[in-house]
A and B are shown apart, each in its own frame.
Chain A
């Protein structure tokens, strides 16, 4: 009807030209291709195609979000495709059915490109043909991803293939393309500075583009710090030479063997594997570890080394895999949740640090980032909503507005970043980017006083969410000043505790008169059992009110709160310990359900449970009833009418 060129196809072209093989196309061809694109929205978990399905007329490029490729039979993750990645192309070229399932890992927008339009280009452009052949032969999603890493992932240092477990060491290594090098005459101080700045553990010493030596952290420790050489020494004095070199095509297993054999931690990869061709990259033990497994120490390191928020997404996927492994192996939940919380906290910290770097100026005053709700209680194993807040140091009244604005801007960066790595925005906007949740210390104090002084249902709900805050980042004294203040305000405040206790008893009952499960009567989760509202919340809320009444701060975790209560009140020891057990059992239950259905695990289809699981669940309900009775009596809730 009109010319093909329009705002939308231009926009598609702008995106495509950043990624291979589309970067090879002439602008004219790229626009022609773009004008045929279908932009497809995929809700989280919706299927793009199934294994054995006959090929679509399109192949796909991820524009936003991420798509998981899985072998359906064993549910092995083949790959996680994110922005700019192509998938579902090979079956179309080979005219065969899909071999794996593609599912939206999160809410995603895909560009669907008609194969009929694309095929002629694959024939007329040699580069595109090569891309396809290489991609099919190497069975990787994008064979250029290593060579083009600079443009694909920015200044990425290491590859993070999600496919490691499947290929078990036979995949090509993802080495660091960014070679940090210097000449034999560079002084040690310069080298150390550069290594620190670039965050690498090894530096190649090059002469005429060829590697002649290598210096690692260890050399600096062993040869300089010990006084063997002065700090004024040259690179050539302390470097290991000649460099042990390997071909860039080596597999992970080969690299492991090589490192073990020579007892070295860094391999230099060259064009043909000899020191006589230019170096193409460095492979460190760390890179290898990263590929070989999901262990917490490696993941923490990987998180801390991330320079782009987007890259945390892949690490988070591996955290989920780790969690799944722990649950499968029946590792105690206390330990599991400690580790996972630690990893989640590290992600949040990293997002904060990266967001701070994006700000034009440093924070005007000290501040802290608070996690609230389940993250604050260290009970967040699966991705859930973000609930967070900012507290900052008091400033002169005339500076309050500009200071608040600064932190609101920071919070917008951070919440966007967290959203990008999988934390949904809080539907009730309890986020630091909302002015209500971004306050100075005295701002928070007056807010808290208001809640405590006027304990209506909303105030009780808000304080129960907020009082589980935990410092995720920033100034500790600020946070503890606020905790102290809350304790002062609530001390012997019977009226407040009465209302808090009443709130804690208001969660709907898990079972009916005949001890049958009570399920949701309507809405999207009709006939599902709401394990959060009916089982976990009563425990969480009761623990909070009891711990506060004992004037205890800095224990946020519900299970730990019950354990502390068991110590404080020996008479109720048995009940509290079974509460602690119940919380852990329910959390585990919820997490398993969540992993099974890749959601929050909150709603459970009862008919999917085994008899044993149902009995276990019901046992926790008995504990909940006893606990609620204790709270009712202790805070004399029955005196409160209405």
Chain B
């Protein structure tokens, strides 16, 4: 049905496949929803000039992560800022198999399907991904998105005694939830930390009565 609504552009088949997954509605039962937790490592924070260097993603279903159901790709980018090397450790020269941005997008879309996308400070990763899609003449991602930074705040008790922070970093969450910070600042490593934090947040929210998808997105 969606296909007929398109005005003029004929999107490539991989996009159509991805888009058609959204014909199926999301399930209401949180246990049955497939979440894809994602992290991108980029050359910087400028949506215009900076680029993704790697994407890591894994799937969470019913409190479980299957090691096999994950992806980690390194992108061949013309734009490259040396100042970021220290943080991310992705050296341009390093012997990694690199693929083009378009290939990465194809793999990611196939992996995503209509899953709910989860990321820490999700707006950033989402925008980076959408900018990449735009460069290749594709529409924005259609997935529902959850941000662990926002969700975490919902788990905190409302008490005048607790001074909430405005921003909680992934390091803060790892400390709170006692998650090892090994592989921090690699895309899949960060995605894994985010995924564990997400599962723990979800379990705390469920105790607070957030038991359905509707309540989770409220």
Contacts and interface: CB of A to CB of B under 8 A. Distances in A.
B68 A4 contact: yes
Interface in B26-84: 56, 58, 63-68, 70-73
Interface string A29-62: 0000011111111110000000000000000000
B111 interface: yes
**Contact count band on A:** 35 or more
A638 interface: no
A577 B199 CA distance: 48
A327 interface: no
Interface in A88-125: 107, 109, 112
A109 B58 contact: no
B203 A38 contact: no
Nearest to A427: B157
A2 B182 contact: no
Given A6-B70, A8-B188, A36-B68, A458 B160 contact: yes
B67 A37 contact: yes
A168 B171 CA distance: 47
Interface in A577-605: none
Interface string B164-187: 000000000000101000110010
B156 A427 contact: yes
Contacts of B156: 427
Main secondary structure of the interface of B (DSSP, over half): mixed
Contacts of A107: 200, 203
B196 interface: yes
Contacts of A1: 71, 107, 110-111
Contacts of B24: none
Nearest to B190: A7
Main secondary structure of the interface of A (DSSP, over half): mixed
Nearest to B159: A428
B3 interface: no
Contact of B186 (A7, A425, A458, A523): A7
B64 A6 contact: no
Contacts of A436: 163
Contacts of A312: none
Contact of B157 (A8, A9, A11, A428): A428
Contacts of B63: 40-42
A480 interface: no
B189 A112 contact: no
A8 B64 contact: no
Interface in A7-29: 7-9, 11-12
B161 interface: yes
A462 B163 CA distance: 13
Interface of A: 1-2, 4, 6-9, 11-12, 34-43, 64, 107, 109, 112, 416, 419-420, 425, 427-430, 436, 457-458, 461-462, 523-524
18 contacts: A2-B71, A6-B188, A7-B72, A7-B192, A8-B58, A8-B188, A11-B189, A36-B68, A38-B67, A39-B64, A39-B67, A40-B64, A419-B178, A458-B160, A458-B161, A461-B160, A462-B161, A524-B209
Given A420-B178, A523-B208, 19 more contacts: A1-B110, A2-B71, A6-B67, A6-B72, A8-B58, A9-B68, A12-B67, A34-B67, A35-B68, A36-B67, A38-B66, A39-B67, A42-B63, A43-B203, A109-B196, A427-B159, A427-B162, A429-B162, A429-B163
